[in-house]
Amino acid sequence: MTGDSDETAGEADAFVFFGASGDLAHKMIFPALHRMVQRGTLHVPVIGVASSGWTLSQLRDRARDSIATAGAGTNDGGALDRLLSLMAYVDGDYGDPATFTELRGVLGDARRPAHYLAVPPALFSTVVEGLATAGLTHDARVIIEKPFGRDLASARDLNRVLRSAFPEAAIFRIDHYLGKEEIMNLLYFRFANSFLEPIWNRNYVASVQITLAEQFGVQGRGAFYETAGCLRDVVENHLFQIVALLAMEPPPYQGMGAVQAEKFNVFKAMRPLSADDVVRGQFAGYRDEPGVAADSDVETFCALRLFIDSWRWAGVPWYLRSGKCLPETAAEVLVELQPPPQPLFADATSADGRANTLRFRLSPNPVIALAARVKRAGEAFIGDQRELSLLNAQPDEEQPYERLLGDALAGDGALFTREDAVEAAWAVVDSVLERHHPALPYQPGSWGPAEADALVAPNGRWHNPLPEPAPPL
């Protein structure tokens, strides 16, 4: 999307990231900054802040190790050296005003810093208040990681803290999922092709399914998952964002403001969930994970039925599910169209009962595919469902953090989440976060508890993503 008046003016002239010694910085941030330097899109000071007792030399060593672990930095045209030369470091407690006084000195002549909070959510308020007290919020912007609260009340509290120090246009809420090329292509494909618009509504769409499946479990993060669960960790943010991109009305103009407003309207039109709209599951063995309660009811699988009470989508069910220890690691959208109004032929649907479908394979190996019926050779009017597929793998595409951090430094908020949209999304799930049916057991390697099938039964059955062939080199 091109820029508009909603964007903050000017490029940031410094990048400050709190939590510089943390796991997120090592896994994602240093490699992203390195790629940005390689592409020539990062040329401002990079100031790490942490309370680890480190020196600048140790921070640079951490960056080298991170980039080497990511498989880069050996033949990068000097990008690693350029990144290291941009780096500075401030060590201190986030609750100590002296830390922010030192940061102000290190910033020097920088007047439009971007402050990235790669810290646990419990520290967001502490850091924001420290920045404000030190006078480091004027003409600055702040970047925060999800989760944006853990329910509607905490989301509102977080937004109050952020808005006490920054205008909304200067707040960039990162959901790395929105930075993926495949997710951006949903928005592009939806509005760059005129053939979709006449059928993209309740008259022609029978149902929409979205699956985000993971073969692996909690990978030693049981203590974290006990505080989150699948509904909070994946469905309310990642899957809801996909729904918004598919369900939104055409923006009236180009720019982030129009896109954000239409996404907000989708969230506001979502019918609040009831307990009977949600099936929660827990894979066998989860309670044996370190940090997990012996009687835990936290869901590692969540399936739900969602309705959007708008003119375009009234009555169309949206089926969302995500889970761990499932048969595949894949993300896929299946839009099923209504069958022809008059069945002229005996086999008007496919063997699994589906009419025409549009399938978006988001990961791995992105694909856009239209399933249509074609007649077999011979006199009989019998056909088969065939897919017309468009492979959409992009060589050397930007990675999510590289794209999102670059956009935040440039002041482009199109791929970030707005305050009102955050609260509207939480309002949809708030009533079932605590008042829900118990989590049902399921075996690792299955598609979750069988009770999830009942949700989708009025519209057939779940579409299970299959392994997708790798794109040609």
Q: Express each pLDDT in 40-60 by its tens digit.
A: 999 999 999 999 999 999 999
* pLDDT at 471 (0 to 100): 55
Residue holding tokens 């369900």? 247
Tell me the backbone φ, ψ of residue 213, rounded to 5 degrees: -110, 145
What are the DSSP calls for 346-381, one per residue? TT-S-TTS--SEEEEEEESS-EEEEEEEEEPSSSS-
State which amino acid sits at residue 31: P
Instruction: Name residue, tokens 């920045």.
Output: 131
Instruction: Tell me the helix, strand and coil percentages in the chain, rounded to 5.
Output: 35, 20, 40
Structure tokens at 365: 């190996």
For the stretch 80-97, pLDDT in tens is 999 999 999 999 999 999
Mean predicted confidence (pLDDT) in 279-302: 97
Please provide the size of the chain in residues: 473
Per-residue model confidence as pLDDT tens digits over 94-144: 999 999 999 999 999 999 999 999 998 889 999 999 999 999 999 999 999
305's CB contacts (< 8 A; 6+ apart) are 277, 317, 318, 319, 455, 456
Q: What is the pLDDT of residue 89?
A: 98
Output the six-digit token pair for 470: 């790798």
Predicted local confidence at residue 2, as pLDDT: 39
- Give me the chain's average pLDDT, please: 90
Query: Is the predicted pLDDT of residue 167 greater than 70, yes or no?
Result: yes
DSSP state of 262: H
Closest CA to 182 of 418, 416, 399, 470: 399
Task: State mean pLDDT over 372-383.
Answer: 81
Residue 4 in this model has a pLDDT that exceeds 50: no
3-state secondary structure of 256: helix
d(CA 413, CA 171): 9
Q: What is the pLDDT of residue 179?
A: 83
pLDDT above 90 (res 10): no
Q: Using the 8-state DSSP alphabet, how is residue 436 labeled?
A: -
- The answer, yes or no, to whether residue 6 has pLDDT greater than 80, is no
Q: Mean pLDDT, to the nearest integer, of 170-185?
A: 87
Phi, psi of 109, deg, nearest 5: -85, 0
What pLDDT, on a 0 to 100 scale, did the predictor assign at position 271?
98
pLDDT band per the 50, 70, 90 thresholds, residue 7: very low
Task: List the structure tokens of 47.
Answer: 């100031």
User: How far is residue 310's CA from residue 307's CA, in Å, rounded to a whole number?
Assistant: 9
Mean pLDDT of 64-75: 81
* Predicted local distance difference test score (pLDDT) of residue 412: 87
Q: What is the mean pLDDT of residues 270-283?
A: 98
Nearest 5°: CA angle at 28, between 22 and 31?
A: 115
Confidence of residue 1 (pLDDT cuts 50, 70, 90): very low
Look at the alpha carbons of 299, 303, 308, 309 in this order and tell me if their dihedral is positive or negative: negative
Please state, for a pLDDT cut of 70, what percent of the chain lies above it. Answer: 93
Strands 357-363 and 330-337: antiparallel
Contacts of residue 301, Cβ cutoff 8 Å, sequence gap at least 6? 230, 280, 281, 282, 283, 321, 322, 323, 324, 326, 442, 448, 449, 452
- Predicted confidence at residue 348, as pLDDT, reads 60
Neighbours of 369 (CB within 10 A): 18
| Better-predicted residue by pLDDT, 122 or 7 | 122
Q: Identify residue 164 by its one-letter amino acid code.
A: S
Distance CA 244, CA 264 (A): 8
Residue written as tokens 């809801």? 240
Rounded to an integer, the average pLDDT of 366-395 is 81
- In tens, the pLDDT along 226-264 reads 999 999 999 999 999 999 999 999 988 877 678 889 999
Kindly state the DSSP code that residue 221 receives in the 8-state scheme. -
Active site residues: 238
Task: Report, as an integer, the average pLDDT of 388-410.
Answer: 82
pLDDT higher than 90, residue 394: no
**What DSSP character marks residue 292?**
-
| Residue 144: φ, ψ to 5° | -125, 150
For residues 178 and 42, which has the higher predicted lDDT (pLDDT)?
42
Task: Give 366's Cβ-side CA count (13 Å radius).
Answer: 14
Output Rg (C-alpha) for the chain, integer angstroms: 24
pLDDT tens digits along 180-221: 888 888 888 999 999 999 999 999 999 999 999 999 999 888
User: What is the rounded average pLDDT of the residues 264-268?
Assistant: 97
Instruction: Provide the terminal-to-terminal Cα distance of the chain, rounded to the nearest Å.
Output: 30
148 pLDDT above the threshold of 50: yes
**Which of 343, 331, 356, 352 lies closest to 468, judged by CA?**
331
Task: Give the whole-angstrom CA distance, residue 26 versus residue 420.
Answer: 32
Tell me what pLDDT residue 195 has.
92
State which amino acid sits at residue 30: F
At residue 6, the 3 state secondary structure works out as coil
pLDDT of 182? 86
Exposure pattern of 117-140 as b/e (b: 16+ CB <10 Å)? bbbebebbbbbbbbbbebebbeeb
Q: Which of the four pLDDT bands, split at 50, 70 and 90, describes residue 360?
A: very high
Residue 391 has pLDDT above 80, yes or no: no
Three-state DSSP class for 179?
helix
